[in-house]
Structure 1
């Protein structure tokens, strides 16, 4: 990487440091901010010189926490230098309503200044949160002691007074202050979102703005204790939740036997649940809740709650609000019954967006499906489809959840006949004209749903005989009706286009089933475009025996283990008692179940399939080739440009990501064996993440020279930076996690020699991996990016699994459609990330780097963590 690039990276980076306490950083930030502003304006008045001296003399004389007192003396010189670096145009005396406020800043100006000074602040809301951190700690105060920071024409003041003059800092001292600026900015950017959330939650519920409620609602989406609640209930909770904090561990929140007055959700910290005579029966942590049972049953507290640690934060819902929300939910719930059994449960909610609630007009109401039988859910969606062209987008959005998720509760073998029945349905009551109008609109609604269904499933339908037969039959029916009903002619061309495209694609030579090699490519690395792997594609795969001999089988990618056993038995001449075993490079063995499908793509990077009688299971051992390489590729690797490597990695990752169908996420979440479908494209994309992660660790652990290892660290950090620029977050996080692997992170002597510039880059990257508050740092970063982008797929999978495991699929024999809606919303992230085409970097695209392209697509790695740790200890033995 060029020197100019490194300088540019250094300028834009927001590095972090390991800090024992935030006190020192707050004061440090304050002083550095003033110095930075001075650098911009280039002047200080004598009056401000005098004020600054006494202000920071007070700071220096203020008792620090004991842990900082030993360190404070070395910071005095830095404090003095920063004192003299204050911006005269921002901090001055101001008059308002005939009253003078001394040495004040304006809230809006502070926000503007923060946005100008650091790339860590991406929005005014984020900048407000960063200033709020200082307000909470008392470093910055409203002149009338307002408790929170606002982006308004309000006056805020740091510690103020006047004292004697002092000399300006030298250029070297100014440079030192500059170097600390982004450190403290990053610290504030990490703490800002939580401070902003606390600020909102401390507001009386009646004073929360629409934006405030939306921020709280977004936070509630990721709280485990609330995962089972409907969207409406979460939005109601956003308006009544109260922030409560306790500083000391051992504090009793409430005692057993007391009246239940509140429901609590743990935001930070942990509590012990104590019962008289039994002691501590369990411990609750972040995301757990307690206290609800007493409110629901209107009974005394069944246990005492004691804080397990200092500084615990809670969200609290008081009893009155809790009961009101329950009443409102029940009042807004409509239940459709047949034979005294619920068949459809609807919830009345405001229609439209948040803006529809503004003004004097009452918002429209609509009904959303909460649960129901599959047939009634389909019937409801067909009845509520709006046919007006202006409402197409809104209708598509409503239908999208059903179209994406119906495979879970109403597979095509049930859906297709139901759609045919609805299309041909005729009303039994009404005038002839009313019957004709009903039949026409009913047909148009069914066509509308089929169009969206076929568009979403696309090529996936080619592997479903039921779906293909239905499409052909349905098209013929609509064509026949269109000859007599002119209104149907509008939709016929679109239906014809989709049906022909799917049918022709299925017959196209390139779409016929492919034969894949064990590495899941076609053997032609120069192929123009990677095609998605289909379940009917065949794979040539080696299955090993106990003595490490192997037989090669040719089976469909989506073949079940039972079919694999049959293919192996045909080759071996006997299949009695055979089992199929997944063997990792570390020797971990898993016996596969007969109904497991698409097992080839679920292997670990160096994993292999073994076939043996059950009695030989314990005798199976890994192949020597599974151990991975013994020599690194640093000689080749170091000659390649970091940007070229990142670019080629992004091109390949985009190809893999673009092949993943949204439905594969659904199959993966609910279990591919339940659908008998392959998730091969998703599996390979997830495996690519692990491959890059272990590539980083492998190359470093195979490098014996310390100086070369330092160069490798620099190289990987540069590649990560370029991946981030290309919005390839999957590879970016894979590289950072590789550098965080214990086999690499323990190499203290190597890290010590890494230049501070790169340590700061890495610290910034590592901060984005912070898992606290359900990976808030990552989510905030992604929210600011426009498509196309490659997301951090493991977190997306985790979100869907979290929703799946936290909510039942069926409630009282009815489909829990609220769960379907939540999972569909997460899966749509994939569609959003690919909503814009990936346009390659023109400068990079014109280069012919076949060697780089081949290298990033054929990484050879060690994926045995035990082996990597042993290699790491040989490089740098544990210190005595």
Structure 2
């Protein structure tokens, strides 16, 4: 049926006597009236063969007939034509099959109803072959009869193959109330045997087709599905270069959430089940599931806000072949977030954090005492306050405050979720009544280290440091579920889901960047600072070699921090070789032309890759904020596709496992390097870093 069906997304209504199981059958087919994929010459020849054979073997079938005192010349009766086919071929097992075969000839105008009815019926109705429309139609010669006898079986085989399509088109052309239970049974059975088909074929008529109260407006490169004269789905024709069998396909531009979902569940799920040869696998079991799932989804969606539509739509685009990313499910585990852990858990392989996981978390009071609470990762601010209130036994109305190391206070909203992982590097949560907010002060531990760790890591190989950094970054990156990008972009508060894994990975970028600045600003000796710059440039080069672009950018951005780049005496002492490397690395960070230099570099890399995650987040955010989600009540599907493409970049980067062998240890052992890279301590107060920088090299007067 390739090219004959298009997705109209209507509900096939039943007649008054129809079995109830078909009353709300969602059928995603639409009729392209009287269009055949088989060349007309073959059908014309088939009609001639059948007429000649009937005149040769059963001439009484074609004769003048009377009905209501009117004579109809040289015509056949529908039931007799069906009987004749049943007797002359073994490939027809039911009368409905024979009806479909005669319908093929009727659609092509080779067989016509005497009153120009558009469908063939197995009834006492009169039909006439095209050759008998004229008076004195010639009878077949003996030679023609012989040729027709020889071609009969091939002709019947051809008609039996395309007959079901014609029969289905005939049924779909009926008004909903005219369809019988048998008709709907045929529709259902045919849907279980539909072959691979293009979404919309070029054979679709370029005029409006009315069916089930739905109209289809086919323009040059656009198809608009309308209901009650309003667009509900807009499709655009594109070249499908990857498929030789179907060079054209239609992609969604916009539509209502329901219609887009129906389209995706029908066409994409079907496509995913086809092999290259076009055969459908396990379709008998699969299609009913699609129908049920579609109906259930539409019912569910009617109860949720519009943002839920977006999640489902983007998820369907991106994860159409699976409900998750194919990873084995992990058992529920307790998570201790890094800044409050004992440190041992950081040496263990990271496991993805789930919304249902629980954490132990310290929440401080204004006097720097604290309460340890146990709540789900995705707990809201309101739930955290309730847990702290129960722990303290306080009767005051408490507020939850995020206090960073600079003393800046952020009052968290009651509906905010997953707040634990979104704190600043050295940020802490405080709870207090409103009148005590101004008296809150940072904890001493929030200030960060007072001395650098160069004496420790200068003995470590730069390549080993980069390798251990990449291993840890990969663990964090691999834990980030693709859904978290969607939650982060559209607002996790709408979904009540955590983005903890993504937050921790982004946090790691800031941590590495501040680590570079902290170590340089805490190094009092000029020669040592020069060695530090060389060390960090080497580590950045090895990160680039390991395709860890996230830490590569973090290190280069750390070296470009105002507190570091202003140290002119230090940079003057840096060898020209390293200055050249640094300039090359900076050029990769050039933001001009939408970060073209970086994007070209990534395009040449093969996975596994740890991408520059802040840029992916920026792409998602710009796409979301720069494009309307709904236009005239239709979902802007182009926006959804752009977001999905960004998600696919992340999927591509992780399509291969990271199994880089560790470099040969020099100086410190791999375990020491590993422990160091997972326990870096930083100063995250830019004001403090600037003050330290000016102490090292005061401003020139």
TM-score bin, normalised by smaller chain:
0.5 to 0.7
**Map of 1:108-187 to 2, 5 A cutoff?**
none
Instruction: Check conservation: 1:647, 1:726, Cα contact below 8 A.
Output: yes
**CA drift at 1:674:** 0.8
Could you say which residue in structure 2 is the equivalent of 1:347?
A: 236
1:376 aligns with 2:286: no
1:790 deviation in Å? 0.5
Match of 1:826 in 2: 646
For 1:466-477, what aligned pairs fall within 5 Å after superposition?
Answer: none
Task: Provide, for residues 752-790 of structure 1, a one-character-per-residue CA deviation record: whole Å limited to 9, x for no partner.
Answer: 111111111111111111111111111111111111110
Residue aligning to 1:457: 324
Question: Closer, same or farther in 2 for the Cα pair 1:672/1:451, shift >3 Å?
Answer: closer
**What's the counterpart of residue 694 of structure 2?**
873
Residue 607 of structure 2 corresponds to residue 775 of structure 1:
no
Give 2:528's aligned residue. Answer: 708
**Relative to structure 1, is the Cα distance of residues 640 and 416 closer, same or farther in structure 2, using a 3 angstrom cutoff?**
farther
1:639-658 equivalences under 5 Å are 639-658=459-478
Distance 2:294 2:320 in 1: 11
Q: CA deviation at 1:331?
A: 4.2
The alpha carbon displacement at 1:852 in A equals 0.8
Q: Residues 232-283 of structure 1: CA distance to partner in whole angstroms, max 9, x if unpaired?
A: xxxxxxxxxxxxxxxxxxxxxxxxxxxxxxxxxxxxxxxxxxxxxxxxxxxx
State the Cα deviation string for residues 129-148 of structure 1 (Å, max 9, x = none).
xxxxxxxxxxxxxxxxxxxx
Q: CA deviation at 1:622?
A: 1.5
2:672 aligns with 851
SS in 1 for 2:489: helix
Asked if structure 1 preserves the Cα contact closer than 8 Å seen for 2:254 and 2:635, the reply is yes
The answer on 1:544 being equivalent to 2:392 is no
Whole-Å separation in 1 of the counterparts to 2:473 and 2:557: 17
- Three-state SS of the structure 2 residue aligned to 1:640 is coil
Q: Is the partner of 1:529 in helix, strand or coil?
A: coil
Q: CA deviation at 1:842?
A: 5.0
Quote the offset at 1:863 in angstroms: 0.6
Paired position in structure 2 for 1:798 = 618
Aligned residues: 457
Other-structure match for 1:149: none
CA deviation profile, 1:834-857 (whole Å, cap 9, x unmatched):
111111225459995211111100
CA, structure 1 residues 415+619, in 2 after alignment: closer, same or farther (shift >3 Å)? farther
- 1:571 & 1:531 partners in 2: Cα distance? 29
- Paired position in structure 1 for 2:276: 390
2:449 to 625, 629, 632: 629
Which one of 846, 860, 864 corresponds to residue 681 of structure 2? 860
Q: Deviations over 1:351-401 (max 9, x none)?
A: 325x98xxxx9x843221111222211222233233431179999xxxxxx
Q: Aligned runs of 1:26-45 on 2, under 5 Å?
A: none
- The answer to whether the aligner puts 1:365 opposite 2:258 as a matched pair is no
Aligned pairs (5 A) from 1:180-219: none
Q: Are 2:507 and 1:687 equivalent residues in the alignment?
A: yes
Check conservation: 1:689, 1:731, Cα contact below 8 A: yes
Matched, 1:677 2:497: yes
Q: Which residue of 1 aligns with 2:383?
A: 563
Partner of 2:296 in structure 1? 417
> SS at 1:371's partner residue?
strand
Aligned match of 2:439: 619
What is residue 221 of structure 2 aligned with on the other side?
332
Change (3 A) 1:380 1:524: same
Would the alpha carbon gap of residues 818 and 414 (structure 1) be closer, same or farther in structure 2, given more than 3 Å must change? Answer: farther
Larger Cα Rg: Structure 1 or Structure 2?
2
Tell me, yes or no, if the aligned pair for 2:318 and 2:644 is still in contact at 8 Å. no
- SS in structure 2 opposite 1:334? strand
Q: 1:755 to 1:867 in 2, by over 3 A?
A: same
Matched, 1:728 2:548: yes
Conserved 8 A contact 1:518-1:542: no
Higher relative contact order (CA 8 A, sep 6+): 2
**Contact map agreement 1:804 1:819 (CA 8 A) in 2:** yes
C-alpha contact 1:647 1:844 (8 A) present in aligned 2: no
1:759 matched to 2:579? The reply is yes
Q: In 2, are the aligned partners of 1:630 and 1:702 still within 8 Å (CA)?
A: yes
Counterpart Cα distance in 2 of 1:759 and 1:344: 56
Deviation digits for residues 484-529 of structure 1 (CA, Å, limit 9, x no counterpart): xxxxxxxxxxxxxxxxx97xx4xxxx61232424537695447653
Greater fraction helix: 1
1:742 aligns with 2:625: no
1:794 deviates by 0.4
- SS of the residue corresponding to residue 691 of structure 1 reads helix
2:589 is paired with a residue whose SS is coil
1:696 aligns with 2:516: yes
Structure 1: distance between partners of 2:577 and 2:550: 24
Distance 1:641 1:371, change over 3 A: same
**SS of residue matched to 1:582:** strand
Cα distance in 2, alignment partners of residues 746 and 691 from structure 1 = 21
Distance in 2 of aligned mates of 1:801 and 1:759: 34
TM-aligned CA deviation for residue 550 of structure 1: 1.2
Give, in whole Å, the separation in 1 of the partners of 2:347 and 2:256: 47
Give the match's secondary structure for 2:643: helix
CA distance, structure 2, for counterparts of residue 826 and residue 699 of structure 1: 34
Matches of 1:768 and 1:329, distance apart in 2 = 46
Tell me the CA shift for residue 689 of structure 1: 0.4
Higher mean C-alpha deviation, range 831-840 or range 739-748: 831-840
Say which SS state the counterpart of residue 518 (structure 2) adopts: helix
- Name the CA distance, whole Å, in 2 between partners of 1:603 and 1:620: 17
Q: 1:419 to 1:694 in 2, by over 3 A?
A: same
- What CA deviation, in whole Å up to 9, does each residue of 1:720-742 have, x standing for no partner? 11111111111111000000001
Evaluate the alpha carbon distance shift between residue 389 and residue 734 of structure 1 in structure 2; reply closer, same or farther with a 3 A threshold. Answer: same
2: distance between equivalents of 1:690 and 1:679? 17
Secondary structure at the residue paired with 2:322? helix
- Equivalent residue of 2:360, what SS? strand
Query: Residues 529 and 454 from structure 1, CA distance in 2 versus in 1: closer, same or farther, beyond 3 angstroms?
Result: farther
Q: Contact 1:517 / 1:523 at 8 angstroms: preserved in 2? A: no
SS in 1 for 2:608: coil
Q: Structure 1 residue 788 and structure 2 residue 655: aligned? A: no
Secondary structure at the counterpart of residue 859 of structure 1: coil
RMSD, aligned α-carbons: 3.1
TM-score normalised by structure 2 residue count: 0.61
Q: Is the 8 A contact 1:545 1:611 kept in 2?
A: yes
1:589 Cα deviation (Å)? 1.3
Give the corresponding residue for 2:351: 531
CA 1:576–1:394: 2 relative to 1, 3 Å:
farther
User: Is the partner of 1:878 in helix, strand or coil?
Assistant: coil
How much has 1:714 moved relative to structure 2? 0.7
- For residue 407 of structure 2, the aligned residue among 584, 587, 595 is 587
Rounded Cα–Cα distance in structure 2 between residues aligned with 1:776 and 1:642:
29
Q: Which residue of 1 aligns with 2:57?
A: none
Give the structure 2 partner of residue 209 of structure 1. Answer: none
